[in-house]
Structure 1
Amino acid sequence: MYHPSPFPGLPVSRLDATAAALALIKPSVRAQTAYTLDAPPAPRKLNQNESPFDAPPVVKEAVLGGLREEPWNRYPPFTPAELVRRLAERHGWVAEGVLVGNGSNELIQATLAVTVGAGTPVVTPVPTFSLYRLLVAVFGGRHVPVPLGPDFAFAVDGLVGAAREAGAPLVVVNSPNNPTGTPLPEGALERLLAETDALVVVDEAYQDFGGPTGIPLLRANPRLVVLRSFSKAMSLAGLRFGYALAHPAVAAEIAKAKLPYNVNRVTLAAAVAALDAGEVLARRTEEVRHNRDLLYQELCAIGGLRAFPSAANFVLIRCEARPANEVFTRLVQQYGILVRDVSTGGPGLEGCLRITAGTEDDVTAVARALAEILG
Structure 2
Amino acid sequence: MRRMHRNESPYPPSPQVIKAIREWIDKVNNYSDPDLWRELASALEKYTGFPKSMLVFAPGSLSLIRIAITIALKNHGRLITYRPTFEAIPAFSKSYGVNLYMVTLRPRDFELDISQILNLKPKRNDIIYISNPNNPTGNIVIKSKSHLEELLSTEALVVLDEAYYEFSGVSYADLVKHWSNLVILRTLSKAFCIAGLRLGYAIASEELIREFRSLASPFDISLLTYVAAIEALNNLEYMRDIVRKIINERERVYRELLRLKGVKPYKSHANFILISLEDLGIESHVAHEYFKNKGILINVYPYEELLRYCIRVTISKAEDNEYFLESLKKLIEEKT
AA aligned to 1:192 is L
TM-score by length of 2: 0.92
2:42 alignment partner in structure 1: 85
Distance 1:85 1:215 in 2: 18
Root-mean-square deviation (CA, aligned residues, Å) is 1.9
Range moving further from structure 2, 298-307 or 59-68: 59-68
Query: Which one has more relative contact order, counting CA pairs under 8 Å at least 6 apart?
Result: 2
Distance 1:116 1:64 in 2: 42
Distance 2:43 2:199 in 1: 14
Count residues with an aligned counterpart. Answer: 328
Q: Report the CA distance between 1:52 and its aligned residue.
A: 0.8
Q: Deviations over 1:286-314 (max 9, x none)?
A: 11111111111111111232111111100
Q: Report the CA distance between 1:74 and its aligned residue.
A: 3.7
2:51 alignment partner in structure 1: 94
1:215 alignment partner in structure 2: 173
2:291 alignment partner in structure 1: 331
Q: Deviations over 1:185-238 (max 9, x none)?
A: 1233222113x1111101111111115212111111111100110110000011
2:255 alignment partner in structure 1: 297
1:38 alignment partner in structure 2: none
Overall identity of the aligned pairs, in %: 28
Alignment of 1:1-375 (within 5 A): 42=1, 44-68=2-26, 70=27, 72-77=29-34, 80-117=37-74, 120-149=77-106, 150-164=108-122, 169-183=126-140, 184-187=142-145, 188-194=147-153, 196-210=154-168, 212-320=170-278, 321=280, 322-333=282-293, 335-342=294-301, 344-375=302-333
Q: Would you say the 8 A contact 1:100–1:242 is kept in 2?
A: yes
Distance 1:136 1:81 in 2: 33
AA aligned to 1:245 is I
Q: Report the CA distance between 1:251 and its aligned residue.
A: 0.7
AA aligned to 2:300 is D
**Structure with the higher helix share, 1 or 2:** 2
Secondary structure at 1:123 match in 2: strand
Secondary structure at 1:146 match in 2: strand
Q: Deviations over 1:148-183 (max 9, x none)?
A: 12411122221222243x776210111111111011
Q: Would you say the 8 A contact 2:61–2:185 is kept in 1?
A: yes
Secondary structure at 2:34 match in 1: coil
TM-score by length of 1: 0.83
Structure 1: any 5+ residue segments left out of the alignment? 1-41
Q: Would you say the 8 A contact 1:47–1:354 is kept in 2?
A: yes
Q: Would you say the 8 A contact 1:118–1:139 is kept in 2?
A: no
Query: Over alpha carbons, which structure has the higher Rg?
Result: 1
Secondary structure at 2:101 match in 1: strand
Distance 1:266 1:257 in 2: 23
